Amino acid sequence: MEIVSIFNLKGGVGKTTTTHSLASALSELGKKVLVIDIDPQSSLTFLITQNEPSRTTRDVLKSSRKLKECIMKGEIFDYIGSTLELVLAEQELSHTWNRENALKEAFIESNIENDYDYCLIDCPPSMGVFSLNALTASHSLIIPCQCELLALQGMDILFQAIKVPMQKLNKNLKIRGIIPTLLSGRTKLSKEVYEMLMETYNSYNIFSPVRINSKLADIGIEKKSIFQIDKRSNGAKDYMTIAKEFIAYE
């Protein structure tokens, strides 16, 4: 099982949509996928279910339940959800020794490496204890970047910020690549930012872009994957292309 963090310091770049839709695409391709919501905003959990989960990421981080006990079975993929109560885990972990390793240790104890092909972790847009736990536990990192000027400018800060976790907490963490998101075919600036992203970060793997698509906004309303909503939509086509690139780029 490969554990992958989906992370960016900037919010609104399509991080949660990417986690959900990439997991859905991988499932469509026959892969067994687990997703973990480690963001107190619980946006990923909202996309998956109408019900507040009784067993959450907070339980995993505070070691009140085993990771395997917190896995909920989903129609598309399995998941560990989150609620706003995850904020309390930050206070609980702040006084804990080795607090950045809580999730990693939970994975080791869970013995689920043969149960799934991939685990995707939706991280909050900050370098706090939750993101540090995800990066410490992960084998790789995917960075969604909106095709917008402020998002592109924030990439330099992001790469500076992840240097310390990669050096001190997880030397084996590799950057799987950058996913350009919210690309507008109608806006000249969006195309220019995409070209700048390709040029500036050409030393990294850059996945095919995700175009702006209204169908992706329906995921949270219908609690379905983009492939269940409309597999012919640009959103479904783009994330399927990325999933195939993801599997091939191993």
Domains by residue range for the chain, with CATH: 2-248 (3.40.50.300)
Contact of 77 with 115, CB cutoff 8 Å: no
Structure tokens at 24: 């859905």
Rounded to two decimals, what is the model's pTM? 0.95
Cα→Cα distances 182→28, 195, 204, Å: 22, 14, 19
pLDDT in tens, the chain (250 residues): 999 999 999 998 999 999 999 999 999 999 999 999 999 999 999 999 988 898 999 999 988 899 999 999 999 999 999 999 888 888 777 777 788 999 999 999 998 999 999 999 999 999 999 999 999 999 999 999 999 998 988 999 999 999 988 889 999 999 999 999 999 878 888 999 999 999 999 999 999 999 999 999 999 899 999 999 999 999 999 999 999 999 997 6
What one-letter code names the amino acid at 79?
A: Y
CA neighbours within 13 Å on the CB side: how many for 236? 16
Which pair of tokens denotes residue 59?
């339980």
**In contact, 78 and 34? CB cutoff 8 Å:** yes
